Amino acid sequence: MSVMIPIHSPDSAVEVQKFPRGQLLLQRGVDTPHVSYIESGRVALGVVQGDVMEHQIGVLEGPCWLDASSAVLGLPHLVDAVADSPLEMTPQANRVCRQPSGQRRRSPLCRMVAQPRPA
């Protein structure tokens, strides 16, 4: 069974945050308390050394989710993420979808991920 995170932000009541170009958004190896939905703008993904993106391996352009897989799997980020243009993002609560007992949590993100992909 395939699952797909919906394209639109699940919680429209959350305030949009604005970031300037060059702002570090995610740090590889670090857990964050939220997962973000990029409303508009571009994000470079890769390896940051100091203040420079030394190895860029990808680009995301909103609207889309920023590293939702880490939130769903409960793992730290695999790459650094830097705003590559002025950016607007909406943070969503980051809750691991499975409890240590193996039971599924009932957070909004986990419910979305558990839904079958539309045909």
The enclosing domain of 78 has a CATH number of 2.60.120.10
Which pLDDT score, from 0 to 100, does residue 106 have?
A: 54
Domain of 74, in residue numbers:
17-111
What is residue 110's predicted lDDT score, i.e. its pLDDT? Answer: 59
Q: Is the pLDDT of residue 8 over 80?
A: no
Q: How high is the pLDDT of residue 54?
A: 92
- 10 domain-assigned: no
What pLDDT, in 10s, does the model give residues 17-43? 999 999 999 999 988 767 888 999 999
pTM over 0.75: no
CA distance 81 to 86: 13
> Any alpha helices (H) in the chain, and if so which ranges?
68-73, 108-114
Residue 118 or residue 84, greater confidence: 84
Total structural domains within the chain: 1
